[in-house]
Chains A and B, each alone.
Chain A
């Protein structure tokens, strides 16, 4: 793209970041009452939310049930108003199906599906605003949502995108950088063991550069892990702080092997008779905010 310098001479990108710098990430767990687990994440201007139902009985044909493990069903949907040009089909088109499949493959690797045979875990991801790195934002949101639902996982799944411009590897691409047409790599990593859950790259990249781009993406994913870990601990502190809730056994100390967090928030709201307090101050972040919020970087969910 003539005229738009993705990397300036001083090493600054279009939005002022350095080559390996991530965009600002804000995340929130337990945002919805109906779902078993939910999370909302903002990575720069990309806003995604993930909702988990399960593990529950298999929907539809029983023949699909796997006798030794759970079925993971992922669906990706991006709102029609999420991109600059209005998207005609929010779901069901090829790109959404491909994303859904990639998410499923990623999470089948991370969730301990052997613990829930013959059942189904649904992960729904909705992108509200897309500004590059949608796969990464979806994976990060889904990780938090699965943790919020209390489904055991091997480890966090942290994802980030990376690109290559002028001999430098860039981490966490924004839409402008993605649209420039250079090589893009999407990486989903299990940080503790360093195992890769999913690696995808399209566009041409010389094999000599692959190592560097992969390392940039991996480092960025590890940075994301630090952040997500902090979000989870903060959420747990909030849960412990104000409410009489039963927290899952094996509560995370520093044990990455089994991460059990959270309790069904649905009990707290829909039933109402459980806490008898109204309005419930702790959970729904929307209730804590003043009634009218104009503009701001976060939507009412965060």
Chain B
């Protein structure tokens, strides 16, 4: 009976729960789903983390490579994030080039890295003007059940904390880089940005950590990224109808 009503009138079904200040999976409006994190399981990656936010599962693998720095920033390394939403995570995604949602998420993560200064790019410099580290952070969503941005941010942070870079010295005579795999050190993570996503219902109600269904029924979503000092790193509010009153 409830399942039938849910199929025919999903929004009404939801409103019944929201009136009682709870949600169909039993959570309060301000409650997060159970979060688990597993760090360092992929040994071929330099750093890895798997995050499960309820059913939403995201894995992040970080690979470090050498690169030549750009001429206008000779002492800065690179951090290149990429979010992949493959068809295996949900039936709404097709195979082929990255869709809109994946590209938006990739750009969001790039903005978070840039704005929150998780890593000082100068820390990735080996030899100014000649050699720097580039960290490729690849995030793959394995199970899509809403709130992908929170999960990605968390996975990225956990993976970066797990990254160990070997010591590199430039040989004076040959000008070649010598990598000492025995001496590895962790990255210097300066801030710990945490993303929180909200879904807006009926222009008045704000619920935290929306699932896939809730995102679909909501009038809009809002993501805020803050670090531990209370500084705002990023605010992502992609459109909404009607516009929110300030």
A positions within 8 Å CB-CB of B: 32-35, 45, 47, 49, 51, 53, 56, 59, 75, 77, 79-84, 86, 90-91, 122, 124, 126, 128-131, 269-273, 276-279, 284, 286-287, 289, 291-296, 298-301
Contact = CB atoms under 8 A, between A and B. Distances in A.
Interface stretch (B82-90, B106-114, B125-133): B82-90
Nearest to B38: A300
B21 to A, nearest CB: 16
A286 B35 CA distance: 9
B233 to A, nearest CB: 24
Is the contact region of chain A dominated by helix, strand, or loop, or is it mixed? loop
A300 B61 contact: no
Nearest to B95: A75
A74 to B, nearest CB: 11
B52 A300 contact: yes
B44 A90 contact: no
6 contacts: A51-B89, A91-B95, A124-B87, A269-B145, A284-B55, A298-B41
A159 B108 CA distance: 41
A292 B145 contact: no
B65 A86 contact: yes
User: Which 3 A-B pairs give the minimum distances between C-beta atoms?
Assistant: A81-B61, A300-B38, A272-B25
A34 B54 CA distance: 12
Contacts, number: 149
Size band of the B side of the interface? 35 or more
Contact of A300 (B36, B54, B95): B36
Interface of B: 2-3, 6, 23-27, 34-45, 48, 50, 52, 54-55, 57, 59, 61-63, 65, 82, 84, 86-91, 94-95, 136, 138, 140, 142-145, 211-213
A84 B44 contact: yes
B38 A299 contact: yes
A168 B145 CA distance: 49
B42 A299 contact: yes
A190 B20 CA distance: 54
A279 B36 CA distance: 12
Given A292-B37, A294-B39, A33 B3 contact: no
A125 to B, nearest CB: 8
Given A35-B143, A51-B89, A301-B50, 7 more contacts: A47-B41, A82-B61, A269-B55, A271-B3, A271-B24, A273-B3, A296-B41
Contact of B37 (A53, A272, A300): A300
Contacts of A33: 55, 143, 145
Given A270-B212, A270-B213, A34 B38 contact: no
B41 A295 contact: yes
Contacts of A291: 35-37
Given A122-B87, A279-B34, A286-B57, A292 B138 contact: no
Nearest to B91: A53
The CB with the most chain B CB atoms within 10 A, among A59, A130, A273, is that of A273
Nearest to A128: B42
A68 B240 CA distance: 47
A53 B90 CA distance: 9
Given A51-B88, A91-B95, A279-B34, A81 B63 contact: yes
